Amino acid sequence: MNAPDPNRQEEIYEALQSVRRRVRGLTVAVVLLVLMVVLLTASVYGYLINFMAGDAALFGGSTIGAALLGFAFGWFARWKA
């Protein structure tokens, strides 16, 4: 049998490292975009609740939103650990 070419193995390893870095960067970008969309949606929702229903609904909505965001961040942190 022929021995595998060590240069070919090194090229494959470098290509995989490059792909891993790009995927990591894209993942960070997507997470930041989702966070921005969630925060903007929450601010618009909070403004509408405050405008139409008063403070009690605003506090309830913001509490539920904070609980959901806290759960999502905890889930993500557990997954990354």
pLDDT digits (tens, 9 = 90+) for 7-47: 888 888 999 999 998 888 888 888 888 888 888 787 777 77
Confirm if 58 and 45 have CB atoms less than 8 A apart: no
Q: How does residue 71 score in pLDDT terms, banded at 50, 70 and 90? A: confident
Give the residue among 49, 53, 46 at the shortest CA–CA distance from 69. Answer: 46
pLDDT (0 to 100) of residue 52:
64
Q: How does residue 58 score in pLDDT terms, banded at 50, 70 and 90? A: low
Determine the distance from the C-alpha atom of residue 66 to the mean position of all C-alpha atoms in its chain, rounded to a whole number: 16
Confirm if 58 and 46 have CB atoms less than 8 A apart: yes
Q: Up-side HSE of residue 25: CA atoms within 13 Å toward CB?
A: 6
Cα–Cα dist 76/80, whole Å? 6
Task: Give the pLDDT confidence of 44-56 residue by residue, as tens digits.
Answer: 777 776 666 666 6
Q: How does residue 80 score in pLDDT terms, banded at 50, 70 and 90? A: low
